[in-house]
């Protein structure tokens, strides 16, 4: 069984995949751990799935989970989480903007924390000033409503102990709120700086305006969950043991 599972949602990233796998493989082999890399193809319309099958033919540490149709990043992430076998799990993007060399830094924090989420201190979005501004405003609104202090809720480069994921229930769009959902379940979550590189090929699947309203609706749902969370302590439990003759 692998010590480490890497989950990578993929949607039309054929141009990025060869460079990603080559760089990621070198980093993971340098860790000295048994690992698996799970590419989750989210109904890609390009050659992404065929390229991943080629990786698998050359290296049995590669796995492909293919969704029947495009279901979105949350669904692809969830499918990957359900497939992992490692005791530690990392999820990252397939667009080369996450730097695989940050993986050892994320994993190092799992000695004391249950989950680690990335914080893109310097964004690699080039001249996308509107995207950066909307992210800053979005984080501020999120923190004001949720009572949290997350600096980069849009970063999906994260590491977990596998037990964190066993009771994690996701709905569409809630992959952005995984740290909040884990904290609700009592897990310890820390945010650490990670690199963020310019996109080399293709374009982002998310726009500014088409994501803002949906993300705000998701935020309201998470705030409702936090406000309605059950909170109680059992003071006494008499006769709870099952007696067998």
CATH code of the domain covering residue 171: 3.90.550.10
- For 13-55, the pLDDT digits (tens) are 999 999 999 999 999 999 999 999 999 999 999 999 999 999 9
pLDDT band at 205, cuts 50/70/90? low
196 phi, psi to nearest 5 deg: -145, 115
Is 181 a domain residue? yes
Give the residue with greater pLDDT, 23 vs 181.
Answer: 23
Counting residues of the chain whose pLDDT is more than 70, the rounded percentage is: 78
Total domains in the fold of the chain: 1
What integer pLDDT is reported at residue 164 of this predicted model? 94
**Average pLDDT value over all residues in the chain:** 85
Residue with tokens 């109680």: 232
Is 107 a domain residue? yes
Is 45 a domain residue? yes
The domain in which residue 21 lies consists of 4-125+152-203
Is 38 a domain residue? yes
Grouping H, G, I as helix, E, B as strand and the rest as coil, residue 132 is helix
Is 94 a domain residue? yes
Is 56 a domain residue? yes
In this prediction the pTM is: 0.80
* Beta strand 115-120 pairing with 158-161: antiparallel
Lowest mean pLDDT among 23-32, 131-140, 234-243: 131-140
Average confidence (pLDDT) over 178-204: 87
- ∠ CA 205-200-172, rounded to 5°: 20
The set of residues, in sequence order, having a beta carbon less than 8 Å from that of 190 and lying 6+ positions away, is 109, 113, 115, 116, 117
The partner residues of 90 in beta bridges, in order of sequence, read: 6, 159
What integer pLDDT is reported at residue 127 of this predicted model? 47
Residue with tokens 């799970």: 38
Lowest mean pLDDT among 82-91, 155-164, 187-196, 235-244: 235-244
- Range among 126-130, 134-138, 226-230, 234-238 with highest mean pLDDT value: 234-238
Average confidence (pLDDT) over 167-176: 85
> Over 70: is that where the pLDDT of 240 sits?
no
CA 98 to CA 128: how far, in whole Å? 17
CA 163 to CA 161: how far, in whole Å? 6
Is 143 a domain residue? no
Helical ranges in the chain per DSSP H: 17-31, 48-58, 73-83, 103-108, 129-146, 178-184, 209-227
Tokens of 62: 């590669």
Is 210 a domain residue? no
Give the residue with greater pLDDT, 208 vs 12.
Answer: 12
């Amino acid at each position: 069984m692998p010590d480490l599972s890497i989950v990578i949602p993929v949607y039309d990233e054929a141009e990025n995949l060869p460079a990603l796998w080559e760089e990621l493989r070198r980093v993971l082999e340098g860790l000295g751990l048994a690992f698996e890399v799970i590419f989750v193809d989210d109904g890609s319309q390009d050659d992404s799935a065929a390229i991943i099958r080629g990786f698998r033919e050359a290296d049995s540490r590669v796995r492909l989970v293919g969704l029947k149709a495009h279901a979105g990043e949350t669904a692809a992430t969830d499918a990957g989480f359900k497939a992992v076998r490692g005791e530690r799990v990392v999820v990252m993007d397939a667009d080369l903007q996450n730097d695989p060399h940050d993986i050892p830094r994320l994993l190092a924090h799992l000695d004391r924390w249950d989950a680690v989420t990335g914080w893109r201190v310097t964004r690699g979005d080039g001249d996308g000033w509107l995207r950066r501004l909307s992210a800053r405003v979005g984080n501020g609104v999120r923190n004001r409503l949720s009572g949290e202090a997350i600096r980069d809720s849009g970063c999906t480069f994260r590491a977990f102990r596998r037990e964190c994921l066993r009771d994690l229930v996701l709905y569409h769009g809630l992959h952005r709120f995984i740290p909040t959902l884990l904290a609700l379940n009592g897990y310890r979550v820390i945010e650490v700086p990670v690199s963020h590189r310019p996109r080399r090929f293709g374009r982002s699947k998310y726009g500014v305006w088409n994501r803002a309203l949906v993300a705000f609706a998701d935020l309201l749902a998470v705030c409702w969950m936090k406000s309605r969370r059950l909170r109680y302590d059992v003071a006494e439990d008499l006769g709870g043991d099952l007696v067998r003759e």
